[in-house]
Amino acid sequence: MASVKKFNMDGGELGSLELNDAVFDVPMNAMMVHDVAVALQNAKRHGTHQTKERGDVRGGGIKPFRQKGTGRARQGSSREPQMKGGGTVFGPHPHSYRQDVPVSFRRRALACVLSDRVRGGALCVLNALTLNAPKTKTIAAMVSKLSPEGRKTLIVTSETQTNVLLSARNLPRVELRTASDLNALDVLGATRVVVLEDALPALEKRLS
């Protein structure tokens, strides 16, 4: 059975905690994880790029210069793509980059990357995270103890906590996600994953 270390906010180790093997001990499926990660990245693209083709460029009603005697190649319109200020050939236009990925694939990919973090010792459990008021210094001190490498840390909570959100948003290498919003791309982008103990049942219910 998969197990991880359990800590408190002060960085003190509270022993180990056994996890659900159906969620945190899943074999890695690299192809599925790759497909889901690409789909999640494409979903972030706005697809609002727009270029003007020959018919969209203003002007071009008359020949730019006479047919013969100039020593230049003949041109019929200033809208031609090879002319300065002309239209663009096969330029991009607004469209959606979204890809249809089954929900079961997304859940399975998330379980794969979480299991990989557990096997690599990059995932730990935090017994509680409570703040009476927004305090960035408190979150920064906690992260420095749980993730001493100073790399990107992902904190997974059971639900949105306003004080925690306001405290962590100014930290450049700290991301905050709830168990219901967590996806494979979030875990792949983090070096250290910190899961609150009360978020484990929500993750297990969602992914098992």
Could you read off the pLDDT of 144-181 as tens digits, one per residue?
A: 988 877 789 999 999 988 999 999 998 999 999 999 99
One-letter amino acid identity for 104? S
Inter-residue contact 187 to 114 (CB < 8 Å) = yes
Domain ranges of the chain: 3-45+98-207, 48-96
**Token pair in block for residue 32:** 């599925």
Inter-residue contact 151 to 179 (CB < 8 Å) = no
Smallest CA-to-CA distance from 183 within 77, 7, 13, 44 is with: 44
- Is 3-45+98-207 assigned to CATH 1.20.120.1200? no
How many whole angstroms separate alpha carbon 111 and alpha carbon 117?
A: 10
pLDDT on residue 196 = 94
**Token pair in block for residue 94:** 């607004």
Could you read off the pLDDT of 16-74 as tens digits, one per residue?
A: 899 989 899 999 999 999 999 999 999 999 999 999 998 888 887 888 889 999 999 99
pTM (predicted TM-score): 0.82
